[in-house]
Amino acid sequence: MTHKKIVIVGGGPVGLSMAIKLAKQGKAVTLIDQGLTKANDARVLALSHASYEILSELQAWPDKDCTTAINCVQISHRGLGITQITAPELKLKQLGFTLKYANICAKLEAIANAEPLIQLILGNVIAVHDGAEFATICYSDANNAEQILSTELLIMAEGGKLLADQPKKIKHDYQQQALIFHIQTAEKPANLAHERFGGIGPLVLLPFEDHYVVVWSLASDLAEQLKANHPQLISELDDEFTQRLGGAKLLSAPVSFPLHLIQIPKRVLTRIILIGNSAQIVHPVSAQGLNLGLRDVVQLSDLISEDDQINLIKLQQYDKLRNKDANAVIGFTHLLATKLETKNNLFSHLRGAGIIALSNLPLVKNFVARSLIFGL
């Protein structure tokens, strides 16, 4: 059994950011991922200004031509309310950016590869065990041979697939799928994102290069139907929103992602800590999952920055440090996602009223917007 000081399982954006952040503190890290190339992942994400700052500090912000700035988000509710949040209102250069998940991972992987303190291992982790003296990781390597590592600190960033039987885990199946696809509209996006409620499912239009990326959360059977029938998909989309942008033309086949909420109330075991999607998976309606995960990275690395040895007592503070931010995002997102749009739904009207109220209460609006961008 080989011993390592710190091991991270999972080389998605959160695990890779964590490894780079720790290496910058002079700590040696081993990261195991089952296959780092994410080129085929269709996700286009909206990252907040705060996430831009976190990744820039790691010199891991993707090249300018891979990113599109969001300067304004317009939030509307069919027949009820409309408000918008702009970067100047929040005294920011931009609210955030849209970029491909694959490009974020590729940039982080290049930085990690060039960092002598980071050892990247290609391996499929089969099981992990916590312990008072050390944690262990069992994985099959690139040659399918079983390997075992022990470590003083094991950071789980594998997206929540291992340790799935955590006690008191909160799980909610939305019975929805997010359809992601690219569209062209007669009206160009001009750095403006849209969030639309009150129709057949929460709809997000993200400006991306010279067109939009649509993230549409729909009841699973409807999502399947529209995924297979592109003319109907575009007709529903035009009816829902894009008619006002001059009509939509499909640029890419829709890709679907099943949606559920997972929250692990206890992120710290003894020598195992859960971050990113391993600790929480949230609905994409408010584009918060990775933003939240990157804030996990910052808080955990800050907590252990000054210690050469792993301080188990101090580590226990991590849960408390992350609770407020995570609970706020999860609560807000879950509220938006669970009340699927039926036109006579009381919640739907309240949400419309909320949007009107937000537009009339700039301080509240700024607070909500700042919380979503920077966390609580």
Ligand X SMILES: Cc1cc2nc3c(=O)[nH]c(=O)nc-3n(C[C@H](O)[C@H](O)[C@H](O)COP(=O)(O)OP(=O)(O)OC[C@H]3O[C@@H](n4cnc5c(N)ncnc54)[C@H](O)[C@@H]3O)c2cc1C
Smallest distance from ligand X to CB 257, Å:
4
Smallest distance from ligand X to CB 340, Å:
16
Segment interacting with ligand X, rule: CB under 6 A, options 64-72, 285-293, 299-307, 329-337: 285-293
Told to check if 81 binds ligand X by CB under 6 A, we report no
Smallest distance from ligand X to CB 330, Å:
12
Told to check if 265 binds ligand X by CB under 6 A, we report no
Look at the alpha carbons of 60, 65, 71, 77 in this order and tell me if their dihedral is positive or negative.
Answer: negative
Residue 31 to residue 95: CA distance in whole angstroms: 32
Kindly list the distances between the CA atom of residue 232 and the CA atoms of 101, 175, 203, 216, 229, in Å, as whole numbers in the listed order.
Answer: 28, 21, 16, 14, 6
Cβ proximity to ligand X: between 14 and 358 the closer is 14
Smallest distance from ligand X to CB 126, Å:
7
Look at the alpha carbons of 36, 285, 247, 66 in this order and tell me if their dihedral is positive or negative.
Answer: negative
Smallest distance from ligand X to CB 346, Å:
28
Residue 363 to residue 289: CA distance in whole angstroms: 25
Smallest distance from ligand X to CB 16, Å:
7
Told to check if 34 binds ligand X by CB under 6 A, we report yes
| Interface residue with ligand X, options 32, 92, 102, 223 (CB under 6 A) | 32
Look-up of token digits 């696809």: 181
Radius of gyration of the chain from Cα atoms?
Answer: 21
**Tokens at 282, concatenated:** 């949230």
Told to check if 254 binds ligand X by CB under 6 A, we report no
| Interface residue with ligand X, options 22, 178, 226, 372 (CB under 6 A) | 178
Segment interacting with ligand X, rule: CB under 6 A, options 67-75, 82-90, 157-165, 304-312: 157-165
**Tokens at 359, concatenated:** 């537009």
Residue 277 to residue 104: CA distance in whole angstroms: 16
Residue span 287-316 as binding mask against ligand X, x where in contact by CB under 6 A, dash where not: xxxxx-x-----------------------
Those residues whose C-beta lies under 8 Å from the C-beta of residue 322, and which sit 6 or more positions away, are 267, 279, 295, 296, 299
Q: Give which of 324, 325, 326, 351 is closest to 337, Cα–Cα.
A: 351
β-strands 44-48, 68-70: how paired? Answer: unpaired
Kindly list the distances between the CA atom of residue 241 and the CA atoms of 91, 184, 224, in Å, as whole numbers in the listed order.
Answer: 29, 13, 20
Told to check if 159 binds ligand X by CB under 6 A, we report yes
| Interface residue with ligand X, options 33, 195, 236, 341 (CB under 6 A) | 33
Kindly list the strands in the beta sheet with 96-100, ordered across the sheet, starting from the edge strand earlier in the chain.
44-48, 96-100, 68-70
Told to check if 22 binds ligand X by CB under 6 A, we report no
Using CB under 6 A as the binding criterion, the count of chain residues that bind ligand X stands at: 36
Q: Hey, is 73 helix, strand or coil?
A: strand
Segment interacting with ligand X, rule: CB under 6 A, options 7-15, 185-193, 301-309, 336-344: 7-15
Told to check if 124 binds ligand X by CB under 6 A, we report yes
Look-up of token digits 């990781």: 137
Binding site for ligand X (CB under 6 A): 9-15, 32-35, 43, 45-47, 101, 124-125, 157-159, 161-162, 178, 180, 215, 257, 276-277, 284, 287-291, 293
